[in-house]
């Protein structure tokens, strides 16, 4: 797991560095920055993407929200966590798909819980399943799937760039998915909770702008699963 930490307060960075040195039970590659401009330059230079970014919100020049939006443009899969002393920013952090929000001062135990949550999440999203269509076998990671759609007697799998037809119906696909990561929103749709941007009334909006109707019978379970997912209750 690769983790990037950016905070303009050198004392905060050193505190987190000390915490990480004691966490020998996690295989983590850390990079620390006190200048967000340097972090963004490094992101442009390297092809090796981080799994997790821990960003302070209030920084001079470029704030953490602006940094996160730049990161998100190039890496839709990145997990982003915000640090701040000001809870007034909490509504704003959800302008960017956010994995967690940690009020300052961060403690060693809170950081340990974050890494545990991240490890569980990466394990979950790296799972995959196989299916066939017209004698061709495909293998998709759960992380690649945005949503699944019932189409007649068959189902369509929607990823970032491609739609896959299958010989399976939606219920058969549902049996192959992890129900902590996916949720039914309608008799014809199943969504990946990672890519849920918002749920409002009878509509779920995904991070790519797709909007799907949520029927009343699915609404309560969808809300509960999404809250558990966001809070790390996977």
Whose tokens are 């002393």? That residue is: 85
Sequence-distant (≥ 6) Cβ neighbours of residue 155 within 8 angstroms: 148, 149, 166, 168, 169, 170, 172, 173
Q: How many angstroms separate the most distant Cα atoms in the chain?
A: 59
Nearest partner of 79 among 62, 57, 101, 61, judged by Cα: 101
The full set of domains in the chain, from first to last, is: 2-125 (3.40.50.2300), 129-230 (2.40.50.1020)
Question: What are 34's two structure tokens?
Answer: 């006190």
What one-character-per-residue DSSP string does 127-164 give? -EEEEEETTEEEEEEGGGEEEEEEETTEEEEEESS-EE
Q: Can you give the pLDDT of all 234 residues of the chain as single tens digits?
A: 899 999 999 999 999 999 988 886 767 888 999 999 999 998 888 878 899 999 998 888 888 889 998 998 888 778 899 988 755 545 554 556 678 888 888 999 999 999 988 888 888 888 888 888 888 889 999 999 999 999 998 999 999 889 999 989 999 999 999 988 999 999 999 999 988 888 888 999 998 889 999 999 999 999 888 888 776 544
């Amino acid at each position: 797991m690769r983790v990037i930490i950016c905070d303009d307060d050198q004392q905060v960075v050193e505190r987190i560095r000390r915490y990480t040195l004691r966490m020998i039970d996690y295989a983590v590659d850390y990079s620390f920055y006190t200048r967000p401009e340097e972090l963004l330059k490094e992101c442009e230079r390297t092809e090796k993407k981080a799994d997790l970014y821990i960003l302070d919100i209030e920084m001079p020049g470029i704030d953490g929200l602006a940094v996160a939006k730049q990161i998100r443009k190039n890496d839709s899969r990145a997990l982003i966590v915000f640090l701040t002393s000001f809870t007034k920013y909490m509504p704003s952090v959800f302008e960017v798909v956010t994995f967690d929000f940690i009020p300052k001062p961060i403690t060693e135990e809170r950081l340990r819980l974050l890494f545990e949550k991240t490890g569980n999440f990466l394990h979950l999203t790296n799972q995959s399943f196989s299916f066939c269509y017209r004698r061709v076998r495909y293998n998709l990671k759960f992380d690649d799937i945005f949503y699944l759609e019932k189409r007649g007697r068959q189902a369509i799998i929607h990823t970032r760039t491609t739609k896959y037809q299958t010989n399976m119906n939606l219920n058969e696909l549902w049996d192959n998915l992890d129900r902590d990561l996916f949720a039914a929103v309608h008799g014809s749709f199943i969504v990946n909770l990672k890519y849920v941007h918002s749920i409002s009334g009878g509509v779920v909006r995904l991070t790519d702008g797709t909007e799907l109707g949520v029927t009343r019978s699915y609404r309560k379970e969808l809300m509960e699963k999404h809250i558990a997912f966001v809070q790390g209750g996977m």
